[in-house]
């Protein structure tokens, strides 16, 4: 089948750049109608225009996922206008490594509010649509973006890694809850991908660590990760990748 995701409605958070943006383009190319969520409306508009130019269908919703009411309003719109989502790529996140002794409490809170709180707002508002779609069509997908930081140990990444360990463990529990309802839950754990993520890092030591890593290995591209998401979502309904780690070959 040339369009394996035809008829499906995919909601993608963090779609205005990086992994989410590439995944939106890839899933649209596979035939899904994509709903792209992030805060930057201008970036989403350009993305939708690009997808439509390539013959795809897309809807932009400018939403801050830490705002539970705004997320619920977005979910209501997806339900009303597109009949609900059957694929959720819950991907918005921020990484702000720093030594714990710096007590960057604002950045701790920012990571917890988005990577955990925002992720949960999206799960809360869209899971009913996934369950309904799975009951009607036999399958739906909930893919949460975690990180290799959920597994490996990196100095100065304690808070970020903690939020991602939450995402991986939450995903395993949700899989036990929703798998029997035909919702496939996956945790995606990428190693380093070149995106805007690194640009938000303010701690000088962490910036130097990242610059060093950029010089010693070839990082993944957002499209590499998008291809993996496409692979996960196009499996037969009985096949669920529970946890997918995708690493730059040279990253240890
Ligand atoms: P980017 O910074 O390029 O993308 C982050 C996306 O999240 C943007 O679209 C941003 O859009 C959106 N976002 C940020 N805050 C909010 C908010 N409050 N509400 C809604 N959307 C928001 O980074 P990546 O593509 O790399 O990151 C995507 C995910 O991948 C993250 O969860 C990250 O932790 C994870 N990851 C990334 C890795 C990497 O090396 N790049 C490795 C492992 C995991 P906007 O500002 O317009 O709201």
Residue 101 lies in a domain: yes
Over residues 200-224, the pLDDT tens digits come to 999 999 999 999 999 999 999 999 9
Residue 2 lies in a domain: no
Among residues 108, 126, 157, 160, which one is catalytic?
160
- Number of folded domains in the chain? 1
Residue 1 lies in a domain: no
- CB neighbour burial string for 46-73, b if at least 16 within 10 angstroms, e if fewer: ebbeebeeeebebbbbbbebbebebbbe
Task: Please state the separation of Cα 43 from the chain's center in Å.
Answer: 17
Model pLDDT, residue 2: 79
Supply φ then ψ for residue 197, to 5 degrees.
Answer: -55, -45
Residue 18 contacts residue 222 (beta carbons within 8 Å): yes
- CATH number of the domain enclosing 128: 3.40.50.720
49 CA to middle of ligand 1, Å?
21
pLDDT of 1 > 80? The answer is no
Residue 3 lies in a domain: no
In sequence order, which ranges of the chain are alpha helices (DSSP H)?
18-29, 41-53, 68-82, 105-111, 119-137, 158-178, 204-216, 222-233
**What is the number of the ligand 1 atom nearest to the C-alpha of 95?**
34
Provide mean pLDDT across the span 31-49. 98
Provide mean pLDDT across the span 12-26. 98
For ligand 1, whether the C-beta of 114 sits within 6 Å is yes
pTM of the full predicted structure? 0.98
DSSP string, 122-163: HHHHHHHHHHHHHHHHS-EEEEEE--GGGTS--TT-HHHHHH
**How many other CB atoms sit within 10 Å of the CB of residue 179?**
14
Model pLDDT, residue 20: 99
Over residues 157-215, the pLDDT tens digits come to 999 999 999 999 999 999 999 999 999 999 999 999 999 999 999 999 999 999 999 99
Residue 120 lies in a domain: yes
95 CA to middle of ligand 1, Å?
8
Task: Give the whole-number percent of the chain exceeding pLDDT 90.
Answer: 99
Over residues 113-169, the pLDDT tens digits come to 999 999 999 999 999 999 999 999 999 999 999 999 999 999 999 999 999 999 999
DSSP code at position 17: S
148 CA to middle of ligand 1, Å?
15
97 CA to middle of ligand 1, Å?
14
Residue 4 lies in a domain: no
| Structural domain span for residue 119 | 9-246
Residue 172 lies in a domain: yes
For ligand 1, whether the C-beta of 17 sits within 6 Å is yes
Provide mean pLDDT across the span 82-102. 98
**What is the number of the ligand 1 atom nearest to the C-alpha of 198?**
41
Please provide the size of the chain in residues.
Answer: 252
Annotation marks residue 166 as catalytic = no
State ipTM: 0.99
């Amino acid at each position: 089948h040339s369009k394996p995701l035809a008829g499906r409605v995919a909601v993608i958070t963090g779609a205005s750049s990086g992994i989410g943006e590439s995944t939106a383009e890839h899933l649209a190319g596979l035939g899904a109608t994509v709903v792209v969520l992030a805060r930057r409306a201008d970036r989403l508009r350009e993305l939708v225009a690009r997808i439509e130019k390539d013959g795809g269908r897309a809807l932009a919703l400018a939403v801050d996922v830490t705002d539970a009411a705004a997320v619920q309003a977005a979910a209501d719109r997806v339900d009303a206008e597109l009949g609900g989502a059957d694929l959720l790529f819950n991907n918005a996140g921020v990484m702000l490594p720093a030594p714990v002794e710096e007590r960057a409490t604002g950045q701790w809170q920012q990571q917890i509010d988005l990577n955990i709180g925002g992720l949960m707002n999206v799960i809360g508002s869209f899971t009913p649509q996934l369950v309904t779609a799975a009951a009607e069509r036999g399958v739906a997908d909930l893919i949460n973006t975690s990180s290799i930081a959920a597994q490996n140990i990196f100095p100065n990444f304690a808070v970020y890694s903690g939020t991602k360990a939450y995402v991986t463990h939450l995903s395993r529990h949700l899989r036990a809850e929703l798998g029997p309802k035909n919702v496939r839950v996956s945790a995606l754990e990428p190693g380093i991908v070149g995106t805007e993520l690194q640009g938000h890092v303010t701690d000088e030591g962490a910036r130097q660590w990242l610059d060093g890593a950029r010089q010693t290995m070839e990082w993944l591209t957002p499209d590499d990760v998008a291809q993996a998401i496409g692979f996960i979502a196009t499996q037969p309904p009985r096949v669920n990748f529970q946890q997918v780690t995708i690493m730059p070959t040279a990253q240890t």
